[in-house]
Amino acid sequence: MMEKQTGRDAESRGMPPSQGPLVGVRVIDLGTMFAAPFAATLLGDFGADVIKVELPGRGDTMRGTPPVSQGISGLWAAMARNKRSISLDIRKDKGREILKRLIASAHVVIENFRPGTLERWDLGFQVMKEVNPRIVLVRISGYGQTGPYAQKAGFAPVAAAFSGLTFMQGEPGRAPVGPPAGMVDYMGGIFGTLGALMALHHVNMNGGEGQEVDVSLYESVFRFFEAMVADYDLLGRVRSRTGQMGQGSMPSGIYLCRDGKWVSMGAFTDPTFIRLADAMGRPDLPANPRFDTNDHRSKNREEIDAIVREWFSRHTMVEAMELLDRNGVPAAPVNSAVEIFQDPHFKARGNLLRVEHPVLGEITMPGIVPRFSATPGVVRFPGPVRIGEHNLEIYHQELGISLEELEILRSEGVI
C-alpha cells in the first residue's frame, strides 16, 4: 500500500500543526516555476511555515502547468504543499509595505527573479535587512547574481547546456540530449535549501547577521562534474557523449536484455568487477592484463563493454538481476512510471504519498526526503486551491489589517 497522509478541507481555516525540525521557521516564497518554489517546498515539508506570494488575479504560473485535472495542476499541488497562499502585488507601493511587514517576522525569503528585479522594485536585500537584520535572502537565477551573463534569461535546459551536462549526454556522433525537464531546477532548489539552512545556522548558532545566498542553476549542475574538470585539467581529455556506455570507470552503462528490457549496471571498482566476472561466469576476465585494473578497463572500454553487452543479450532482465544481485554487483532495472508505482521498495520507503485533495480526491505525489527518525516531515496540506486562500488568516488575523482596509487593498489590486 502507498503511504497515506491526510490534507485538510480547502474552506477550513488554518492548517494541521507543523511538525519536523524546522517548526518555528517562517519562509516567504516569492518564486515561480520550479527552482525557488521547490526550495520552499523542501523547507515546508519539514515544518517551516511557508507563505506563498502570488500575483492577484493570476497566481503562480505553475497553477496551469500540466498535468491538469478538473482545473487543478497536479504539479502545483505537489509544489505548493504545506504552503499558505496570499495574493500580493509587490510591484505596488502598498504591496511592498505589506511584504516588509511579513519579512519583519520571517527568517527566509526565496526568489528566482532575474537579477536586479527586486532592486528595481525597491525590495533588494539591503531594504529587507533594514526591516529584519537576521533575514536570509535566497536568490536563484540562471547564471547567478554576478558575472557578465547575470542578466541573461536562464531556464533549466539552457543551464544544463551551459554547465557541460548536455554536451556529455546522447549517442556518439549524434546531437546532444538534454536532461529530463525540470531536473536542473530541482537541483538548484536543493542547493537553495542547503544555503538557507547554513545561513540560518550562522544566524542562530553564531549570532551572525542575515545574508544573501546566491544560487545559479548552471552551478548547481556543474558542481557535480569533478571528474570532467579533472579529466580536462590533468589529461587534456574532453568528456563527450558515450551513449549507453558509462562515462567513467568501466564496465558501466545501460544494457539491453534478451527480453527487450534494460538494466543499468556499474562495476566501478576492481573488487566489483571481480564479482561481475563471477556473475557472468567469466573468472578469466580479471586476470586479463587488458581488464585487470580500472585504468586498463577504461583504456579498453569498447572491448570490455562489448563483452558485457553480449552477456546481457543472452539473459532476460529477471535472470540478469538475479545473478548480479546474488554476486553483489550494483544494478537496477530501468524503471518507467509503471514499474515505479508497482515496485515494493518505493512503497516500503513511502516514496509515493497518497494525499487527500479537496478537489481531486486522493492524489499521489513524491514522498519526503530525507527521512528523520525523531522529527520526520509530513505533507499536512496538498497546496492551496484558490489564489490568496489564506489572505484573511495572514493579513487580518496575523498582521492585524482591518477588514475594511483589506477590501480597499483588494479593490486597488494590491491583494
Q: List, by residue number, the catalytic residues.
A: 185
Closest CA to 25 of 3, 48, 41: 48
CB 390 within 8 A of CB 86: yes
- Separation of alpha carbons 359 and 241, rounded Å: 45
| Cα separations in angstroms, 25 against 18, 102, 136, 328 | 10, 13, 11, 43
50: left (phi over 0), alpha (psi -120 to 50) or beta: beta
Please provide residue 133's backbone torsions phi and psi, each rounded to the nearest 5 degrees: -60, -20
The three cell numbers of residue 168 are 556529455
CA distance 53 to 36: 12
Contacts of 319 (CB under 8 A, 6+ apart): 257
CB 305 within 8 A of CB 254: no
Would you say how long the chain is, in residues?
415
**Chain centroid to CA 57: how far?**
28
- Distance of CA 4 to CAs 347, 352, 364, 378, Å? 11, 9, 9, 10
